Amino acid sequence: MPDQTLRDEHQQTAQSAADTIEAALRRWRGNGAGSSVTSYVAHSVDHRWERPRIVVGLNVDEALALAAILTAQLHQP
C-alpha cells in the first residue's frame, strides 16, 4: 500500500477528474446547476489503492447518448 502522501495525491487527482467530468456533463445537459452526478471513490475492493475510481450517475438516456458519443469517437479516423 502506498504511503499517505501518494494516496493523497491520487485522491486529489481523482477529485479533479470528477470535478472536470461534472462540469462537462452540466454543459452537455445545458444547465449550470443541479445535483451532483459525480464523485470519486478513494479505493475499491476491485482495484488497487493507487487507482481511485470516479463514479458517474447518469440516467438511461444520458448513458446511451454518452455510449453513442464514445463509440462514434472510436470509429473516427
Identify the domain containing residue 67 by its residue range.
Answer: 4-74
Q: How many structural domains compose the chain?
A: 1
For 1-57, how does the pLDDT look when each residue is reduced to its tens digit (9 = 90+)? Answer: 457 787 778 788 888 888 888 888 888 878 665 666 777 666 666 666 667 777 888
DSSP tag of 51: S
Among candidate residues 32, 35, 57, 54, the one with its CA nearest the CA of residue 44: 54
CA distances (Å), 76 to each of 14, 62, 68, 73, in order?
A: 28, 21, 13, 5
pTM above 0.75, yes or no: no
